[in-house]
Structure formats: structure tokens, C-alpha cells
Structure 1
Amino acid sequence: MDIIKDFLLQLTFMVIPIFIYFTFITERIKSGKNRNVIMSILWGISIFLCMSFPVSIGQNAHLDLRIIPLLFGTLYGGFWPGVFLTALIILFRLYFGISIGFYNTILVLLLSLPVILYFQKSFANSKKDKRGKIAVGLSFYYCFIGLTIFGILREFSIDYLKVQIIHLIFVLVVTWFFTMLNEMIREIHQLRSEVQDSEKLRVISELTSVFAHEIRNPMQVTRGFLQLLNDPDLPNEKKEYIQISIEELDRANGIINDFLSFGKPSIYNNEKIEVGYQLERVINIIQSYTINYKIEIKADILYNCWTYANPQKLNQSLINILKNAIESMPNGGIVWITCTSTDDEYIKIMIKDQGIGMTKKEIDRLGYPFYSLKEKGTGLGMMVSFQIIHSFKGKIKVNSEKGIGTEFIILLPQIT
């Protein structure tokens, strides 16, 4: 019973970081880098507690769940959190003195950390169920390595082997449970964030429907009178003023059109379309636009990729993203466009440029109204593009680096 009680205490140490992180951190800190730092510290505290209150087996043998905070910190945080937590384990174990247990810890970490880091990227790109399998598999590997090395450094005993089996089973169950718990909480927070964003955008949509047409009518009247005033006998200076006024009215009218596109219900007449064909049409349309910017488009399109979507709306979304890619390269460059199918039954459209790039903070704000990196941009075109893709049950991922370029990845459900 004492062993079970000690293991349950170790379990409590796993709950603390997750509870603190999702209760106090996610709502207050938006930067992913700062979140990783704080989460690494929390997992470090968990490791400290696990190693301070281990499960005692006899006089010289101790077991704890340090693998779980190390595993979670590395899989969710990446390379540096993994190195930090590994160093913390080594230093804390060194505090207890150099012994066979210390050498055992060093060897297990040296053999385990590279494997965990190897699977980290695959874990980050996987869905919830696959993440659970990866985490459990890595936990089993860590425990197996630890058991093997301990058996080499010390002699096995039946009693110790029984405890190790209990420890292994407990670690695997706890790893799976906390992976699922962590993923579920992350999904809830993401869903809540999306609901909040949807509520904000719904308000904008309602305001758009009420005011857009009323604003457009006097603008059209004003534009008509400006055209009438544009007499051939007017001085060139006054003609220039009238022309600028007309151009600014047209730009304002374009913004209203974007608002109306956003304000319309996102229920389109979807049909079965071939994405490769639609992408080829978009490239043909945008080719003339690239001439003024000295842009070269390189395309690698896989055909026979089918999805349910509205072809006009899909083209509108792709053109908006392509125009942004082109305009981000004032000195020219290359835009790469690919269309492939993925193993998880998605059609993957990739649009990559060599433009000015974006920071993580700028990427997080992308798709929000009135946020644009262009001098005269409103952000409404990108907002409408995001809405269109989401209406097709698709996803948009953005990877970018300042001064290097930006990569848009559009995932659409594939059908046969």
C-alpha cells in the first residue's frame, strides 16, 4: 500500500504544472516563446518534486515519474526545454552524490533524449490519438532502457523486477492519461478562443449588413458628381484633385465590398471540384499581375485531388493569398505553388514566397480585420480568405521568418 500511496503522490506532481499552465498562463501570456519558458519551469518543478519524494524500494533503490515531465516538456516545448529539463535531472541527481544510480541516470538520458527529440516534430504534427501512441511508446522505451541498464549495473532480483513491472505499467497508463488530458484541455481552450473570435466577427458582420449599403449610396452619388465636375477645360491641378478623390472613393468602395463579402453568410453552393484544375486557373489569372513585380511563379501541381467547395470562393481565397505573396516582394523573386495529397486524407496547397516575412506576433494577428502589413491594406481580404477556407472545413497554417519569406499551407478535406 505504501508503494501505491507514493505513486499517487507522484501523480499529483504531474497535475500541478498542467493545472497552473491552463488556469493562469494561457489566458495571460500570448507569446509562444514565453509560454515555453514558463512551461519548462513548471515541468522542472514537477521533476524536482518527483525526485525529492521518490517511491522507495528497499534501502538503495528508488523510483519516480521524472520521465513524464521530461517527456511532456520536450514533446510540447522542443529542443531547448528538453535540454534544460535533462540538465536539471542530472544536476539534481548529482546533489545526492555519485553512485551507481547517478551513472544509471546519465546513461538512460543519453540514450533516451535523442530518441525523444527525434520524434518531437512528428509528435507536434500529429493528431491527438497518434500523439498518445508516440508518448506511450517513448515512455516504454525510456523505462525499458532504464531497466536494462540497471540490470547490467546491478543484479536483478525478483522483488525488484515486480516493482519495475508495476512502475512500467503505471508510467504507461499515466503517460497516456495525461497526454489525452492535455490534448483535451488544449482543444477546449482553442475552441473557447475560436468562439470568442467568432463572436467578435459576428458583431462586425451585423454592423456590416446594417451600414455598408447606406455608406455606399452617398459615395456613389459623390463619385458621379465628381465625374461631372471633371471638365476638360479645368486646370490640370484641379483635374488631379478630382482624380485623386475618385480613386480614394473607389478604394473605400473596395473596402466596403470586402466587408460585404465577410458579412454574407458563409453558406456556399459547394460542389465536387478538382483542386489542381482550380489552382491552375488561379495561376493563369494572377500571371499578368506578376509582370509589374518581376515575379516568377513555379508550380508543382498534383491533379485528381477532389474536394467539396465553391470554385469561385476558393479561387477568391487563393488569389488573395497569392496577391499578398507577390506584393511582399517589391524587388522581385519566386513564388512556389504546390498541390499534393497527404496521408491523413487532406489536399495540401502550399504557397511560399521570398518576401519580407513576418514575426510570430504578426502571424498570430493574421486574418483579423484592420490588421495588414501593407501601407494601404485593411486586412479584410485575408480575413475573408480565412473564412472561406474554414467554411470548406479546411485549415490554414502560416510559417514565416522575418526577411526570409512566408509559407501558407492550406489543407482541404479530400474526397474520392
Structure 2
Amino acid sequence: MCLHVVFILFTILIYQVFFKEREEKRKKIRSKFFLFMLMILVFTMSQPVLYTEIYKYDFKAVVIILSFLYGGKKVGFAAFLALLITGFFTDQRLPVLVGNYTVYCLLLLRITRMFHRYQIKGKVLVISLFYMTIPITRGIFLELKGDYRQTYFVFGSSLIVLATLIAIVYLIENMNEQLEMKQELIRAEKMNVVSQLAASVAHEIRNPMTSVRGFMQLLQKEELTKEQQLYINISIEELDRAQEIINQYLALAKPQTDQYEIINLTSLIQQSIDVMQSYALLNSIQITQEVEPSLKIEGLKLEVQQVFINIIKNAIEAIKSDGEIGISGSKTADGFVSIQIKDNGVGMTKDQLKKLGSPYYSTKEKGTGLGLTVCHQIVKQMGGQILINSELTKGTCFTINLPAYKKKSEEYTP
């Protein structure tokens, strides 16, 4: 059994060090994770621990459990099929394998959902309780047969298997945590580059814009026609708007959390729709909304509005013409305000979704990708998150979750 433990831990360690895979890759049957599980399965079933000619013990339960927990349904059932094939060639009782492990696989489908909700300690507890059903049921069967010596061996070997399983869970969870930290560091480095670039470019652009705005204001004092006056007013408004956007880019480098205010999100969404309504009508796109009244959050009004305008603009450009954008908003039970912006545009592939929000990545021909990068940064600074679901040719749904404003309770004065 010590040989089995060393082989399994050494194999998992090699996989962890040299073959780091993303979660989505591990769920494919062609993944390196499944290959390593297959190696462990063949070894442990071909070299079982013999108590008697009838009773053979190995670590195949560990392989099935790990395959379902970290590989998903496809890898789990593929491991189950490999177990049956290996069992056929290693003189194991095939009907018993089929019966027992069919039940385990069906139970693991439910356990997997519960498993991923917890932190590492909770995961260890869940998987320990599940695994202990195997020696307990086997021990009850042996007790009924009166084979007491065999019962002691079952519980002793089961403790070794359980300890191995817990060690593997810690190894894999540590690997996942390292991958997440690495990705977070890469994102942070990209954001740092974007922040510095935004700050330097914004400062350079501000000066000529200020000069242009000053000349526009001087022209306003001259005798002009109504049309000329209108054009100058629009130009000044657009310059002011550009100035606001530059300030938002500067916020990437220096967040202004100390200037937060209470925002009526319901009216802000309506204002954002009003701004984009003409652009939508030009493309024959209808914008509908179903937002709860009096939704309130804390933040910077201009920044939050920029998030909505950017996402609505992207939705319009994804539809191109003759479509619909639905905007809904409500307060959730966990103290957040959830805003959904859904379109029936071209949609995106899974690979595009993974990269979306990264600096300088855009699905548009002339896009820079900075718009969504800024949106993610603004929402993250406010303690919220942006979730994106999309299906090719069917459309995209942006879900913006922001912490709801909580009214501070008045101090008690006797």
C-alpha cells in the first residue's frame, strides 16, 4: 500500500509541476489530467494489495473521485469505462465493479456540485464523508459474514486511502490557487501598463483640448448665426465629454474612492439610455427596460454612466441593425444591485469570452479593448463584478453586480 501511495502522490506531483492546465482543459477527455488518472488506474488495479485470493484492495476509488471532482462528467465517466476495461483484464469481479461504481458515479454527480462551493477545508470534509461510505458499507457486509479480521484490514487500508485522497486534494487545490494567482498577477501587470499609458496620454491631450475649448468660448461672444452657435455649443459639450472620459482613464492610475456619492441608479440608467437612443434608432434597434424604482448605490456618477454607455454601445454595434436590447435591474437578496444588458447580436465564442476585458483585445475591427477594461476596473473598484454570458449567433448578456447603498443607522442619543 505504501508503494501505491508513493506512486500516486509522485504522479500527481509531476502533473502539478510540469503539466499545469486550466480548469476547462482538464474537463476534456484528451487532457493530460485524464492521461495521468489513467496511468494511476492501470497501475493500482494491476498491482492490487492481496489479503486473500478473494479480497483485493487498490486505490481505484481515488481515481474515480478525482476524475469527477476535477475533470467533470466526461472525464469521470471515461475513467469509469477505463476502470471496467482494466477490471476485465485484471481478473476482478466485473459485476461487483459495475454495480458498486455505477452507484458511486451517480452520487459523485451530486457531490461535485456541492464540493466546489466550499473552501479547501470544506472540500476535504465533504470528500472525506463521501469516501467513508465505502469502508462503512463494506465493513457492515463483512460483519454480517462474520469475517472480523477482514473488517480490521478494511478500515486500516481505508484510512490510508483517505489520507492519500486528502493529500491529493491539497496538492491540486494548491495548483489551482497558484494558477489563479499567476493570472491575477498578469492582469495586474497589464492594468498597471494601461494605467501608466492612460495617465501619460491623458495629460498630453488635456492641454490642446483646453486651448481649443478656450477659443470656442471666445467665438461664442462673436455675432454668429443660430446654426453656428449651435455647432459651437455641441463642440464645447463634446470637448467636455472627452474631458470626462480622460478623467475616467486617469482613474485607472488613481482611483477616487474618497469622492463617492449616493447614486440613483434607476434614473442614471434612464439617462444612459437617452444618450444612446439616437444611435440605436439610426441602426433600427429598440431599447427596452424593466428596472426597479429607487435602486441606489455608492460611487462616482460619471464613471458608472460610462460603464452603461460603453456596454450599450457595444451591444448596438454587435447587433448592427434590426435588433433589440433589453435592460433590467433589481436588488438581490445578498445586498447587491444586479443590472442586465442583453442583446440579440452576433454573440461570441468561448475563446473570445476568455479574452474579453483584457487591455487591447477587441472583437471589433477598429476597437482598442480599453473601453471594457475601464468598465471592469470601475466596477471592481466599487466592490462589484461584471459577468458575461454569450452564445454565437444568439447574443450576449452583460450582468453588472454592484453593492447596494446601505443607509447608515442613526446614532442613538439618550
Which of the five TM-score ranges fits, normalised by the shorter chain? 0.7 to 0.9
**Superposed CA offset, 1:66-107 (max 9, x none):** 22222222122222111111111111111113x5x3222111
Runs of 4+ residues deviating >6 angstroms: 219-226, 248-255
Q: Per the alignment, do residues 389 and 255 of structure 1 end up closer, same or farther by CA in structure 2, a change over 3 Å counting?
A: closer
State the distance in 2 between where 1:87 and 1:372 align: 42
Match of 1:341 among 321, 327, 332: 332
**Superposed CA offset, 1:366-388 (max 9, x none):** 11122112233221121011112
Q: Per the alignment, do residues 312 and 217 of structure 1 end up closer, same or farther by CA in structure 2, a change over 3 Å counting?
A: closer
Q: Which residue pairs with 1:82 in the alignment?
A: 76
Q: Per the alignment, do residues 61 and 195 of structure 1 end up closer, same or farther by CA in structure 2, a change over 3 Å counting?
A: same
Q: Which residue pairs with 1:374 in the alignment?
A: 364
Over the matched positions of the two proteins, sequence identity in percent amounts to 27
CA contact (8 A) 2:255 2:381 kept: no
Counterpart code for 1:139 = Y
Match of 1:281 among 267, 279, 296: 267
Paired positions, count: 381
State the distance in 1 between where 2:289 and 2:142 align: 58
Match of 2:105 among 110, 113, 117: 113
Query: Which has the larger Rg?
Result: 2
Counterpart code for 2:271 = I
Q: Which residue pairs with 2:198 in the alignment?
A: 208
CA contact (8 A) 1:359 1:401 kept: yes
CA contact (8 A) 2:26 2:70 kept: no
Q: Which residue pairs with 1:135 in the alignment?
A: 127
Matched, 1:178 2:168: yes
Unpaired runs of 5+ residues, structure 1, are 1-5, 229-247
Counterpart code for 2:338 = I
Give the superposition deviation at 1:365: 1.2
**Superposed CA offset, 1:107-129 (max 9, x none):** 11111112212333444455444
CA contact (8 A) 1:354 1:404 kept: yes
Q: Per the alignment, do residues 308 and 300 of structure 1 end up closer, same or farther by CA in structure 2, a change over 3 Å counting?
A: closer
Give the superposition deviation at 1:412: 4.9
Q: Which residue pairs with 1:66 in the alignment?
A: 60
Match of 1:53 among 47, 50, 63: 47
Q: Which residue pairs with 2:398 in the alignment?
A: 408
Q: Which residue pairs with 1:240 in the alignment?
A: none
State the distance in 2 between where 1:414 and 1:126 align: 25
Q: Which residue pairs with 1:363 in the alignment?
A: 353
**Superposed CA offset, 1:165-198 (max 9, x none):** 2234344444344334422331222112212321
Q: Per the alignment, do residues 225 and 340 of structure 1 end up closer, same or farther by CA in structure 2, a change over 3 Å counting?
A: closer
Query: Where do 1:16-415 residues align within 5 Å?
Result: 16-26=10-20, 32-33=24-25, 36=28, 37-97=31-91, 101-144=93-136, 155=145, 157-218=147-208, 259-265=249-255, 267-270=257-260, 278=265, 280-288=266-274, 289-290=276-277, 291-292=280-281, 293-299=284-290, 301=292, 309-310=299-300, 312-330=302-320, 331-335=322-326, 337-341=328-332, 345=334, 347=336, 349=338, 351=340, 352-412=342-402
State the distance in 2 between where 1:348 and 1:46 align: 47
State the distance in 2 between where 1:137 and 1:415 align: 41
Secondary structure, counterpart of 1:328 in structure 2 = helix
State the distance in 1 between where 2:160 and 2:293 align: 47
State the distance in 1 between where 2:353 and 2:309 align: 19
Counterpart code for 1:380 = L
**Superposed CA offset, 1:230-252 (max 9, x none):** xxxxxxxxxxxxxxxxxx99999
CA contact (8 A) 2:324 2:344 kept: yes
State the distance in 1 between where 2:392 and 2:375 align: 22
**Superposed CA offset, 1:189-248 (max 9, x none):** 21122123212321332233233322454577689999x9xxxxxxxxxxxxxxxxxxx9
Secondary structure, counterpart of 2:319 in structure 1 = coil
